[in-house]
């Protein structure tokens, strides 16, 4: 059984992806959403998760117009515009990650760097990704 989320196919909990297949699906979903909102997607994307944290790192995300602004020392304006875009994409990004992991996103953070051209999306889930072994002793509490 599959559900349609924001133009992306997401697996039901019973058909859950795991490991490298889940990483690839997460990266693909985030890149597709960027493409849909910005007219072009990043040229490279990779995702990884550990317990209840999902990170998607993308490279070569800027449009030609944004690169021109960066070259004209207006990178701060590009970063400001990107923050606005991230706010508009947030619901679709969260929906895609929730659909693929079967978990609820409790926090979402996003940021860009212009030189080098790298972006990251970070999702904190309500629990570890189902079916994944958790590492003991990796959590630090103070």
Tens digits of residue pLDDT in 34-55:
999 998 889 999 999 999 999 9
**Nearest one of 128, 132, 119 to 30, comparing CA atoms:** 119
Percent of the chain with pLDDT over 90: 74
Contact between residue 86 and residue 138 where contact means Cβ atoms under 8 Å apart = no
Contact between residue 8 and residue 122 where contact means Cβ atoms under 8 Å apart = no
Cα–Cα distance, 40 to 124 (Å, whole number) = 26
Q: State pTM to two decimals.
A: 0.81
Confidence of residue 10 (pLDDT cuts 50, 70, 90): very low
Cα–Cα distance, 5 to 137 (Å, whole number) = 35
The residues spanned by each domain of the chain are 16-125
pLDDT digit string, tens, across residues 105-135: 999 999 999 999 999 999 999 999 987 655 4
Residue 69 has pLDDT above 90, yes or no: yes
**Nearest one of 103, 104, 114 to 75, comparing CA atoms:** 114
Angle at alpha carbon of residue 50, lines to 49 and 55, rounded to 5°: 35
């Amino acid at each position: 059984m599959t559900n349609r989320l924001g133009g992306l196919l997401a697996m039901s909990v019973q058909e859950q992806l795991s490991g490298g297949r889940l990483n690839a699906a997460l990266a693909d979903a985030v890149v597709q959403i960027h493409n849909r909102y910005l007219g072009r997607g990043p040229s490279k994307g990779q995702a990884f998760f550990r317990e209840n944290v999902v990170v998607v790192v993308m490279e070569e995300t800027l449009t030609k117009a944004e690169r021109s602004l960066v070259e004209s020392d207006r990178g701060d304006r590009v970063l400001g515009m990107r923050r606005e875009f991230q706010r508009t994409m947030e619901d679709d990004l969260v929906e895609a990650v929730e659909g693929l992991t079967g978990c609820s996103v409790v926090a979402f953070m996003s940021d860009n760097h212009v030189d080098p051209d790298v972006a990251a999306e970070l999702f904190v889930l309500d629990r570890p990704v189902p079916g994944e072994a958790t590492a003991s002793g990796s959590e630090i509490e103070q």
